[in-house]
Amino acid sequence: MLVNTIMYIYLSFVLYFTLMPIITSLLFIFDHPYDSMNLVPFVDVINGRGDFVRQVLLNVIMTIPFGFLFPLTNNKNPNFLKTIIYTILLSLSIELLQPLINGCRSSDITDIITNVIGGIIGYIGYLIFKPLTTKILNYIKNK
């Protein structure tokens, strides 16, 4: 239950930082054009537009906890492929909803790629710390 609670809190923060302010935008959800997703990977990096380094780093960092926590919440079969698929689904959902909720937001394939990289790093962290997390969770469970 502890790991699930941490995962829910983490996902709440991800949604808060990526989709807010949703409440104020609901009235205007269809009052702006929906810009299609940019499907050219790393176009901002290639063209040197904006603060691309910050965006790439934040997108990677954002999903590291997901890659670490997802296998812990999925005790039956915590495998790499399942973690990556769920990371892709989380990232794709956010990227498709952002332009709907706010006309100033856009979706980008680069964000999905960097989110998946973060999920992979998180999963590697899960593998490294698996013995420690198993001991901690067993200790909490037996208390």
How does the average pLDDT of the chain come out, rounded? 84
> Is residue 116 in a domain?
yes
> Is residue 36 in a domain?
no
Q: Which amino acid is at 34?
A: Y
Q: Is the pLDDT of residue 22 over 60?
A: no
State mean pLDDT over 122-127.
Answer: 96
Cα(143)–Cα(140) distance, integer angstroms: 5
> Is residue 34 in a domain?
no
For 134, the domain range is 2-17+42-142
Please state the domain count of the chain.
1
For position 123, what pLDDT does the model report? Answer: 96
Q: How much of the chain, in percent, has pLDDT values that exceed 70? A: 85
pLDDT band at 29 (very low <50, low <70, confident <90, very high): low
> Is residue 59 in a domain?
yes
Among candidate residues 126, 107, 106, the one with its CA nearest the CA of residue 118: 126
Give per-residue pLDDT as tens, 62-121: 999 999 999 998 777 779 999 999 999 999 998 888 877 766 667 889 999 999 999 999
For position 34, what pLDDT does the model report? Answer: 61
> Is residue 29 in a domain?
no
For position 101, what pLDDT does the model report? Answer: 72
| CA-CA-CA-CA dihedral for 55, 56, 57, 60, to nearest 10 | 120
> Is residue 91 in a domain?
yes
pTM comes to 0.80
Cα(124)–Cα(83) distance, integer angstroms: 11
Cα(110)–Cα(38) distance, integer angstroms: 8
> Is residue 37 in a domain?
no
Which has more pLDDT, 21 or 77? Answer: 77
- Residue whose structure tokens are 């495998």: 79
> Is residue 28 in a domain?
no
